[in-house]
Amino acid sequence: MTANLCTASWPGGSCDRPAEISDLCRAHYAQQRRGKTFAPLKGAHGADLREMVPVLIRIPADDADVIRAEAEARGGDIIEVYREAVAAFASELRKRANRQQTVDA
């Protein structure tokens, strides 16, 4: 059986993922639902969306306001700002873990 490929394309490229919903892969289907034009699937730090996991969290409204304001100031994608915030904290945690391993060694 040959899987149909996602039909999303953009100047200079097209998607090579299997189509899952309405002739689109899940990520491009999500782009379409957000009213975005199709774009390559690259996220924070060039990570491939296929290597990301979805999470759903509740955060304080004050924090959400600050994130939203930052996204608006950049004229960018609010999800990218959330990814950046989580990536910065995760990076700090990895550094702490590495320092701890060095101390333990």
Instruction: Candidates 24-32, 45-53, 60-68, 92-100: pick the segment binding Zn ion (CB under 5 A).
Output: 24-32
What contacts 15, CB < 8 A, 6 or more positions away?
5, 6, 7, 8, 9, 24, 25, 28, 38, 41
Closest CA to 32 of 4, 6, 13: 6
Nearest-approach distance from CB 36 to Zn ion, in angstroms: 12
Could you list the beta-strand ranges (E) of the chain: 9-10, 13-14
Using the rule CB under 5 A, is 19 a contact of Zn ion? no
Nearest-approach distance from CB 15 to Zn ion, in angstroms: 3
Q: Which of 4, 25, 42, 79 binds Zn ion (CB under 5 A)?
A: 25
Query: Which residues lie near Zn ion (CB under 5 A)?
Result: 6, 8, 15, 17, 25, 28
